[in-house]
Amino acid sequence: MSPEIIEIFVHKGEGYNPFFIRDHWQVAQLNHIVAQDLWQIEKMDMHRETDEIFILTKGTAVLIAGEAEKEGFLFQCIGMQVGITYNIPANAWHNIAMDKEAEIIIVEKSNTHLDDFVYQLLTDKEKQELNVRILAAIKGI
């Protein structure tokens, strides 16, 4: 059998790397960067055209979802478990807080990282509330 049949993809650097793009979908890996640090989240993201699948493969990470209300975001945070598949539906505000060892596989439409994203910066009050919720998610409360 020819060894070229099996393709292998590895991302050891920081941040986001879409390493497999085919037929309108992609698999990417997100590794820790300062903007995704557990205590450095400053914005929420949204994708209009795709759900986004997240699978933690290593480290500690908290998946954050939010509803934009008049008074600010209402956050839902969940401590991710290795090997569990999580979905954020299209048009849902979200982000991921990660420790330095975290590695996450992402599956989404192929244009997501190029032109299907909007973001909203968090206020200082929202950041404080989010950090409380992240801590609770890490502790499992």
62-116 pLDDT, tens digit per residue, is 999 999 888 889 999 999 999 999 999 999 999 999 999 999 999 988 877 778 8
* SS3 state of residue 87: strand
28, 100, 83, 132: CA torsion to nearest 10: -110
Tell me the domain boundaries of the chain. Answer: 14-139
Distance separating alpha carbons of residues 101 and 63, to the nearest angstrom: 15
What does the pLDDT average to over 108-135? 90
Helices (H), 5-139: 112-115, 124-139
pLDDT tens figures, 3-55: 676 666 777 878 877 777 777 888 999 999 999 999 999 999 999 988 999 99
Q: pTM here?
A: 0.85
* CATH number of this structure's domain 14-139: 2.60.120.10
